[in-house]
Amino acid sequence: MARRKRTAVVGGGMAGCAAAKELLKNGREVVIYETTAGLGGRARSWHRPEIEPDVGVNLWFTSFYKIMFERIREYGLEDQLTEMSNNVIVVDNGKPAELLSDSMKSLFTFPHVKLGDRIGFLTATLKETLKRKELDLFDPLKLAKYDDGTNAAEYARKSMSQRGFDNLLRPEIESFWLWRCEDISAAHVRAMQAQIAGAKFYVFKGGMEIIAEKNAEGAEIRLENEVTDLQVSDGEVRVTARDADGTLSEEVFDDVVMATPAPVAAKLTAALPRQIVGEDTRDFLATQKYEPALSVSYLVDFSSMPSEAHIVAAGAEDPPVKTIITFPRQVRDANGRPVDKHLAFVYPGRAATRRLLKLSTEEQFAETTRLVTSLWPDFPADAEPFEIAERPWAMPVPEPGRYRKSARVIRLQHAPVVFAGDYFTSPISEAAMLSGIRAADKLLTVG
Ligand SMILES: Cc1cc2nc3c(=O)[nH]c(=O)nc-3n(C[C@H](O)[C@H](O)[C@H](O)COP(=O)(O)OP(=O)(O)OC[C@H]3O[C@@H](n4cnc5c(N)ncnc54)[C@H](O)[C@@H]3O)c2cc1C
């Protein structure tokens, strides 16, 4: 009987675990190496037993995610979903106004911009919605055609004034992804506009990592194992990893899916021969920029903040605080009785995030508590600092021209070393999974 091929997956995030599933389904043996203590990567939440549900940074997904919903059905996870309101509150100079993606009324009554901008926004959205199939937010092979070198701000100004852009489109994009519209491809914002009308928003009750964990079932999972070296010779891939005790081990595979963030993939494959990893791929990995993220969460009284809201800053400036997101949660009081609270996640602006990432947790809370009222003056003074999540490589930036490069690299990928990660498109778990499935398919086509 023929030996089953063995594949190493380096990185147990959404991309790596989606690749693992595809490989396992096709009869491969799979070993997943993951540096941290759990699967899910950036989509992994933190858990604290004092709150109900005990889940922290809980990623959203929408009704237009395709692979995600296929997996939810396959694994019978429908009861894990919680639908969230898409309540976006845009704050312009201290004045809040609601903007709901599924409500025409909220657009027409949106007070921050003139009627002409609202009509321009609506017309542009409708135009893009007609191209919904092609303007696929997750697929660089489709987006490449629309990636004409212009940035999102240039695109937006064709249909609205600067003020309209700064209050309508910019906050919708930048509050979710943290980069500047000036720095990203117009194709990204066009795809977002094409998909967003009427979309429903969900979170998993226990965190999105459940999908990564289910996808990885059947693989050998090596947690707290950081891959430190990769060698390819005589058709074999040699993987060296360091475990939590610092012990190095080496193992041989037929091939490998590199599913780490781009800088790690670039470093680990830098010494491989050019015929294994070509120049285009090297350049693609080495030039990927990232926006860092810091999520600072607080427990606040239920009545003190809007519920299930995305409170976002308008304007072109980099604000001290960019976004506040509130989720309802219950905590137990001293007598064990449940009390309704909000878990409020505060995301500082770009400059503030870079500064705060260098500080201690205590200092991060103190500084964020000081800054947060710049966006929401009524943020309760007695908010209870709860948890901080740091993501130095949070948001890969889809610069103008990036989707075209990405499509080229996807076509060039070949065994025995392939790459996967959200940086092939944008920071979206669905995009990460698509890249993982594609990378696995490249290995499977050679048998
Ligand atoms: C703050 C924030 C909010 C977000 N919100 C949403 C949202 O609401 N909805 C949504 O769909 N997406 C969201 N995203 C994006 C989503 O989290 C990512 O797109 C997705 O998780 C990326 O998956 P990945 O597998 O490509 O990379 P990662 O999740 O980064 O996975 C890579 C894995 O590789 C591991 N690794 C790194 N180096 C090594 C090594 N040497 N050896 C072994 N393992 C290694 C890492 O520990 C990690 O687990 C958000 C991202 C952030 C940062």
**For the segment 109-162, what is each residue's pLDDT rounded down to a tens digit?**
899 999 999 999 999 999 999 999 999 999 999 999 999 999 999 999 999 999
Q: What pLDDT, on a 0 to 100 scale, did the predictor assign at position 403?
A: 98
The last residue of a domain, from among 163, 197, 231: 197
Question: Could you say which residues of the chain have pLDDT below 70?
Answer: 1, 101-102, 447
Instruction: Give 88's DSSP letter.
Output: E
Q: Distance between CA 18 and CA 440 in Å, rounded?
A: 9
How far is the centre of ligand 1, averaged over its atoms, from the C-alpha of 104 (Å)? 34
Q: What are phi and psi of 419, to 5 degrees?
A: -125, 145
Q: What pLDDT, on a 0 to 100 scale, did the predictor assign at position 371?
A: 98
* Claim to verify: residue 244 and residue 294 sit in the same structural domain: no
Strand ranges inside 207-353, DSSP E? 220-222, 226-233, 236-242, 248-253, 255-258, 290-301, 309-313, 321-332, 338-348
Q: Distance between CA 141 and CA 199 in Å, rounded?
A: 23
How far is the centre of ligand 1, averaged over its atoms, from the C-alpha of 30 (Å)? 20
Q: What pLDDT, on a 0 to 100 scale, did the predictor assign at position 52?
A: 93
Residue of 389, 304, 309, 399 lying closest to 347 (CA atoms)? 389
The strand pair at 220-222 and 29-33 is best described as parallel
* Claim to verify: residue 301 and residue 388 sit in the same structural domain: yes
CATH for 250? 3.50.50.60
CB 435 within 8 A of CB 425: yes
C-alpha to C-alpha distances, 216 to 17, 150, 212, 373, nearest whole angstrom: 5, 39, 6, 42
* Claim to verify: residue 386 and residue 251 sit in the same structural domain: no
How far is the centre of ligand 1, averaged over its atoms, from the C-alpha of 432 (Å)? 8
Please report which helix (H) or strand (E) contains residue 439, including its range.
helix 429-445
Q: Distance between CA 364 and CA 347 in Å, rounded?
A: 11
* Claim to verify: residue 391 and residue 424 sit in the same structural domain: no
C-alpha to C-alpha distances, 177 to 25, 49, 322, 441, nearest whole angstrom: 33, 29, 10, 29
Residue 143 domain flag: yes
Using alpha carbons only, how large is the chain's radius of gyration in Å?
22
Instruction: Give 3's DSSP letter.
Output: P
Longest CA pairwise span in the chain (Å): 72
Residue 174 domain flag: yes
Which ligand 1 atom sits closest to the C-alpha of 431? 19
**For ligand 1, atom 48: residue with the closest CA:** 41
How far is the centre of ligand 1, averaged over its atoms, from the C-alpha of 393 (Å)? 8
Residue 52 domain flag: no
Instruction: Give 254's DSSP letter.
Output: S
For helices 115-129 and 186-196, the axis angle rounded to 10 degrees is 90
**For ligand 1, atom 4: residue with the closest CA:** 59
Q: Distance between CA 274 and CA 155 in Å, rounded?
A: 38
* Claim to verify: residue 391 and residue 295 sit in the same structural domain: yes
Residue 82 domain flag: no
Residue 166 domain flag: yes
Q: What pLDDT, on a 0 to 100 scale, did the predictor assign at position 230?
A: 98
Please report which helix (H) or strand (E) contains residue 395, including its range.
strand 384-396
Residue 151 domain flag: yes
The last residue of a domain, from among 362, 378, 396: 396
* Claim to verify: residue 275 and residue 299 sit in the same structural domain: no
CATH for 383? 3.30.70
Which ligand 1 atom sits closest to the C-alpha of 225? 43
Which of 57, 260, 297, 395 for mutating ligand 1's site (highest number of atoms within 8 Å of CB)? 260
Residue 84 domain flag: no
**For ligand 1, atom 12: residue with the closest CA:** 428
* Claim to verify: residue 15 and residue 156 sit in the same structural domain: no
Which of 45, 59, 418 for mutating ligand 1's site (highest number of atoms within 8 Å of CB)? 59
* Claim to verify: residue 373 and residue 310 sit in the same structural domain: yes
The last residue of a domain, from among 173, 197, 221: 197
Q: What pLDDT, on a 0 to 100 scale, did the predictor assign at position 137?
A: 96
How far is the centre of ligand 1, averaged over its atoms, from the C-alpha of 446 (Å)? 28
Q: Which range of residues forms the domain containing residue 367?
A: 290-396
Which of 17, 69, 429 for mutating ligand 1's site (highest number of atoms within 8 Å of CB)? 429
How far is the centre of ligand 1, averaged over its atoms, from the C-alpha of 41 (Å)? 4
CB atoms within 10 A of CB 283: 13
Residue where the block lists tokens 């852009």: 165
Q: What pLDDT, on a 0 to 100 scale, did the predictor assign at position 1?
A: 64
How far is the centre of ligand 1, averaged over its atoms, from the C-alpha of 40 (Å)? 7
How far is the centre of ligand 1, averaged over its atoms, from the C-alpha of 378 (Å)? 33
* Claim to verify: residue 324 and residue 262 sit in the same structural domain: no
Residue where the block lists tokens 């600067």: 162
Residue where the block lists tokens 């019978």: 76
Number of domains in the chain: 3
Q: What are phi and psi of 417, to 5 degrees?
A: -125, 115
Q: Distance between CA 55 and CA 53 in Å, rounded?
A: 6
* Claim to verify: residue 131 and residue 174 sit in the same structural domain: yes
**For ligand 1, atom 13: residue with the closest CA:** 428
Q: What pLDDT, on a 0 to 100 scale, did the predictor assign at position 2?
A: 75
Q: What pLDDT, on a 0 to 100 scale, did the predictor assign at position 327?
A: 93
- Beta bridge pairs of residue 202: 61, 83
* Claim to verify: residue 334 and residue 424 sit in the same structural domain: no
CB 172 within 8 A of CB 197: no
How far is the centre of ligand 1, averaged over its atoms, from the C-alpha of 428 (Å)? 9
- Beta bridge pairs of residue 444: none
Residue 63 domain flag: no
Tokens read off for 176: 């979710």
* Claim to verify: residue 268 and residue 307 sit in the same structural domain: no
For ligand 1, residues with CB inside 6 Å are 10-16, 33-36, 41-43, 59-61, 226-227, 259-261, 264, 293, 295, 391, 394-395, 421-422, 427-430, 432
